[in-house]
């Protein structure tokens, strides 16, 4: 194992920005065992703490069950007859307690609480404080959704026969479905895992295999090396007919990509990306990767809840975003393969080595991994322009954070359901946005030095947010904690208003005031706004600008004259409301601004117009000012915005002429760019150009461009003679356009292609397309198909989600009418979010009463997703007529 080591704090301070990673054979010894402090929430009694688990599992994949034995070493801190552990859906048949250092074993009785997800073990007499081993035998269920130990069925890549792989997913609290555990983040322990499995299958876990022993009858015992101390949710096990590509990274870590047999070289791209990340992260964090290997395991299928999981030493990723299949993988998906892996590998340090103490601080894992994903992508692939993605991430977070149903970044979590709901855009994208803002405030070197100190001081331990802020401040960023508290301990979005800007003597005199942006409580937010210390970068669009921190109302002097960007570089988490005169100046100057400011200004002003803080017209003028030769990421965003404007008109009455005019504007702005790109990928072209082509084809087809739709239909027709005719990087693009405009004959062909495919990713693509049709009758048939048993469970839920994008009311009513059949198709941890999410594109007032009825029937801790859906629906219904009118007026004036 490797970890940072210095002899004293003075040596650490002298290390500066240098890499002080050091090597050690073992992690530091554990601190003296003591009860979990009251400052850390827990659902378990605070009288015991584990140090080690030894688990042996025997899966029965065919019958979707397993048997297992477990031994948990723990220390008891107070006299007690009972010890309580987390356990869910485990049938515990034997339990005994063995005192450490000798003594007679004690047989225990077991009682379980399904609601609390616990098992309580009771001794016949009082147990004295001390060290014990709890031994259990038990049985459990192999699930068909990604909870606990679960199965994925998929076509063998070589034969097309259905085969089954087993995998685990324990975050948030599902290790308790695999073994009785202290299944909370702060109860770290080491793990010994062994498995009795078919001898022809490959078993994978967090650590390398220590031994394999034949047992006869076609079975073997696989024993894995002992893990470092880690939280239970990071334990991992997979079993199947797999193959592995592997290599040594430059830091000495063996890295591997594990995929279904027959994957061949499909894992090579991810493997090469993985190998590059290891020394980069080790250097950045100042701590070398402490495990001997890191695998990334591909699982066929999908989940409504997650795409990948950062199990320490054994990442799990769904195949579609890990393996590079040249018959269907697009350039954007290759980009996603790299970025998702960068996210999960960042977790190996931020989340696995140092873990949040409780789920309140989940953002310490996810926000930082998202931020580091972007930083690593920019380091290795600057031609992708990954830093520009931070504007989209900010907007995704603000789309939730502007409603009263939002929550702080650091949120109070007390139940399993609340934990499951915490994986949202506030935790991920607002977390990343706030971190980016704080890094800019501290400075990149100071920020990195603070992170290194934090990693060194808390390796193999647990932390809360203030531990991080203290480390950054100690590295040289005074005042950071106060700003961090403002943006992480209270919800919402600051609204910075440019009250005045005058030029005198070659300088611009600015007056700024602060309020609060809101989508559904504007009057209250204006009358009694929350307060933030808001980091600003005042700029004329070039040069270093002026950094300030706004509290309340303040005046500043900015050298030079001209239009002023209050959020220069777009790293501030706030909205900026400009007056009409300044907004007009910004619009005129937009073509000369940096791409990040072009993106941010358009996004910010469109959001302000949508929320009613300003008319839509000036925001549309800003959008129209995006130059035709804009950076491809900026152009991609602009094209998608024109497509959304068409959707706005699509809901208006007698809007055909306006829709035709809007399409003409889009064709004028993007036609030459698309012609230059062509309809096919060119060898060696930049990924950003490939992505722009996809965006232009998608936007223009959605707006009704007959040429693009005709080309899609022509290409789709080729599949009748040759099912491989569309193979290549644009396959999913042309299929999506054809699927949306499918006739009955097209739709039936899509279903046939799904059923005949031997590729799990391709099969899922076709099943999803079956639900993506504009034709309501075909959409209804797709919903029936989802419950027919012909698609897999995960594919069936994808069909329903696809229908909901264009027929939300149809999908919602269908799911509620068939709830007993739909629930098994959805992750148990995501069912409420799945149902509420079906109405994300609805504008039907009748849906309000349906959602209110749904919310009324749910426990309080399950209501937030429905509250969010209601808030969004009411907002869309209220704003739509105004926006339609203002858009049509803007079109009429052009």
The residues carrying an active-site annotation are 344
> What CA–CA distance (Å, rounded) separates 453 from 443?
16
Say what angle helices 595-610 and 389-401 make with each other, to 10 degrees.
Answer: 20
**Where do we find the tokens 């591909």?**
298
Tokens of 663: 């399409």
CB 571 within 8 A of CB 534: no
Say what angle helices 846-856 and 808-817 make with each other, to 10 degrees.
Answer: 30
Angle at 228 (CA atoms; ends 227, 234), nearest 5 degrees: 70
Give the pairing of strands 209-216 and 507-517. Answer: unpaired
> What CA–CA distance (Å, rounded) separates 743 from 738?
9
CA distances from 424 to 184, 328, 358 (A): 20, 29, 17
Handedness of CA 690, 692, 693, 694 (dihedral sign): positive
**Where do we find the tokens 């515990």?**
92
Query: By CB neighbour count within 10 A (0-12 exposed, 13-18 middle, 19+ buried), where does 877 fall?
Result: middle
Q: Which of 637, 436, 427, 448 is nearest to 19 (CA)?
A: 448
Handedness of CA 540, 545, 546, 547 (dihedral sign): positive
**Where do we find the tokens 């590295």?**
475
CA distances from 537 to 394, 586, 833 (A): 17, 16, 37
Those residues with Cβ within 8 angstroms of residue 177's Cβ, 6 or more apart along the chain or in another chain:
88, 89, 90, 140, 141, 143, 147, 148, 149, 170
**Beta partners for residue 80, in sequence order:** 127
CB 703 within 8 A of CB 659: yes
3-state secondary structure 27-70: CCCCCCCCCCCCCCCCCCCCCEEEEEEEEEEEEECCCCEEEEEE
> What CA–CA distance (Å, rounded) separates 2 from 459?
11
Rg (CA), the chain: 28
CB 524 within 8 A of CB 590: no
Give the pairing of strands 314-318 and 308-309. Answer: antiparallel
Those residues with Cβ within 8 angstroms of residue 500's Cβ, 6 or more apart along the chain or in another chain:
509, 510, 511
CB 201 within 8 A of CB 157: no
Residue 808: count of CB within 10 angstroms of its CB: 20
Tokens of 801: 């989600």
Grouping H, G, I as helix, E, B as strand and the rest as coil, residue 410 is: coil
Tokens of 297: 């395991």
CB 13 within 8 A of CB 32: no
Helices (H) and strands (E) in the chain, counts: 29, 30
Grouping H, G, I as helix, E, B as strand and the rest as coil, residue 386 is: helix
CB 149 within 8 A of CB 169: no
Strand order in the sheet with 553-559: 553-559, 507-517, 493-504, 575-577
N-term to C-term CA, the chain: 66
Is residue 279 within a helix (H) or strand (E), and if so which, with residue range?
helix 268-285
> What CA–CA distance (Å, rounded) separates 316 from 205?
10
Residue 615: count of CB within 10 angstroms of its CB: 16
> What CA–CA distance (Å, rounded) separates 563 from 571?
19
């Amino acid at each position: 194992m490797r970890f940072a080591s210095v002899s004293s704090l003075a040596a650490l301070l002298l290390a500066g920005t240098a890499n002080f990673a050091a090597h050690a054979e073992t992690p530091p010894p554990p601190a003296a065992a003591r009860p979990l402090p009251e400052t850390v929430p827990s659902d378990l009694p605070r009288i015991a703490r584990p140090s080690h688990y030894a688990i042996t599992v025997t899966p029965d994949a065919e019958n979707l069950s397993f048997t297992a034995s477990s031994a948990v070493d723990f220390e008891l801190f107070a006299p007690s007859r009972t010890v309580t552990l987390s356990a869910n859906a485990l049938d515990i048949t034997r339990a005994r307690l063995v005192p450490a250092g000798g003594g007679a074993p004690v047989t225990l009785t077991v009682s379980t609480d399904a609601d609390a997800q616990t098992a309580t073990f009771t001794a016949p007499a009082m147990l004295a404080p001390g060290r014990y081993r709890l031994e259990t035998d038990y049985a459990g269920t192999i699930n068909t959704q990604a909870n606990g130990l679960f199965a994925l069925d998929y076509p063998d890549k070589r034969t097309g026969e259905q085969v089954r792989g087993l995998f685990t997913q324990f975050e948030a609290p599902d290790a308790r479905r695999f073994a009785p555990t202290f299944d909370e983040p702060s109860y770290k322990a080491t793990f010994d895992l062994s498995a009795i499995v078919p001898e022809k299958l490959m078993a994978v876990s967090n650590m390398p295999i220590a031994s394999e022993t034949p047992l006869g009858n076609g079975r073997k015992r696989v024993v894995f090396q002992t893990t470092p101390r880690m939280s239970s949710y990071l334990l991992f096990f997979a079993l199947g007919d797999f193959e592995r590509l592997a290599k040594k990274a430059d830091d000495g870590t063996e890295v591997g990509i594990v995929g279904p047999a027959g994957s061949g070289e499909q894992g090579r791209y991810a493997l090469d990306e993985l190998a590059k990340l290891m020394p980069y992260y080790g250097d950045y964090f100042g701590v070398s990767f402490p495990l001997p290997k890191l695998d990334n395991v591909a699982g066929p299928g999908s989940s409504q809840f997650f795409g990948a999981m950062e199990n320490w030493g054994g990442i799990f990723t769904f195949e579609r975003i890990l393996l590079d299949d040249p018959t269907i993988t697009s350039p954007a998906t290759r980009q996603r393969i790299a970025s998702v892996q960068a996210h999960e590998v960042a977790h190996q340090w931020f989340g696995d080595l140092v873990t949040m103490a409780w789920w309140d601080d989940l953002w310490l894992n996810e926000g930082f991994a998202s931020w580091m994903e972007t930083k690593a992508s920019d380091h290795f692939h600057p031609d992708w322009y990954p830093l520009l993605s931070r504007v989209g991430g900010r907007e995704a977070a603000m789309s939730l954070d502007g409603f009263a149903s939002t929550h702080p970044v650091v949120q109070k979590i007390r139940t399993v359901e609340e934990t499951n709901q915490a994986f949202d855009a506030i935790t991920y994208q607002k977390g990343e946005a706030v971190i980016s803002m704080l890094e800019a405030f501290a400075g990149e070197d100071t920020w990195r030095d603070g992170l290194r100190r934090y990693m060194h001081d808390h390796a193999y331990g647990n932390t809360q947010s203030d531990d991080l802020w203290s480390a950054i401040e100690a590295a040289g960023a005074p005042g950071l904690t106060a700003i961090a508290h403002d943006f992480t301990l209270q919800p919402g979005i600051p609204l910075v208003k440019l009250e005045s800007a005058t030029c005198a003597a070659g300088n611009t005199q600015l007056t700024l005031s602060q309020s609060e942006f809101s989508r559904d409580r504007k009057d209250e937010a204006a009358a009694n706004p929350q307060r933030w210390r808001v980091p600003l970068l005042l700029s004329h669009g070039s040069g270093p600008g002026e950094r300030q921190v706004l509290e309340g109302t303040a005046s500043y002097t900015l050298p030079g004259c001209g239009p002023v960007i209050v959020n220069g570089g777009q790293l501030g988490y706030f909205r900026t409301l400009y007056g009409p005169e300044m907004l007009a100046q910004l619009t005129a100057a937009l073509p000369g601004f940096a791409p990040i400011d072009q993106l941010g200004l358009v996004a910010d002003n469109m959001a302000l117009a949508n929320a009613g803080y300003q008319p839509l017209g000036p925001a549309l003028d800003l959008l129209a000012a995006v130059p035709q030769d804009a950076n491809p990421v900026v152009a991609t965003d602009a094209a998608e915005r024109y497509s959304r404007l068409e959707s706005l008109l699509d809901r208006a009455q007698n809007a055909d002429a306006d829709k035709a005019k809007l399409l003409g504007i889009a064709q004028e702005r993007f036609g030459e760019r698309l012609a230059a790109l062509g309809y096919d990928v060119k060898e060696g072209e930049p990924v950003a150009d490939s992505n722009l082509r996809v965006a232009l084809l998608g936007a223009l087809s959605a707006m009704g461009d007959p040429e693009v739709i005709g080309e899609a239909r022509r290409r789709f027709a080729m599949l009748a003679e040759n099912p491989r005719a569309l193979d290549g990087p644009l396959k999913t693009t042309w299929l999506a356009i054809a699927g949306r405009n499918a006739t009955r004959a097209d739709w039936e062909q899509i279903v046939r292609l799904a059923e005949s495919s031997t590729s799990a990713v391709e099969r899922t693509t076709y099943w999803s397309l079956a639900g993506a049709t504009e034709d309501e009758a075909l959409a209804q048939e797709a919903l029936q198909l989802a419950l027919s048993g012909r698609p897999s469970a995960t594919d069936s839920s994808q069909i329903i989600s696809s229908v909901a994008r264009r027929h939300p009311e149809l999908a919602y009513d269908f799911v509620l009418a068939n709830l007993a059949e739909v629930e098994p198709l959805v992750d148990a941890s995501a069912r409420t979010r799945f149902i509420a999410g079906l109405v994300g594109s609805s504008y039907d007032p009748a849906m309000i009463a349906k959602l209110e009825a749904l919310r009324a029937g749910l426990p309080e801790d399950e209501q937030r997703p429905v509250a969010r859906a209601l808030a969004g629906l009411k907002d869309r219904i209220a704003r739509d007529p105004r926006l339609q009118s203002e858009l049509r007026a803007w079109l009429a004036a052009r």
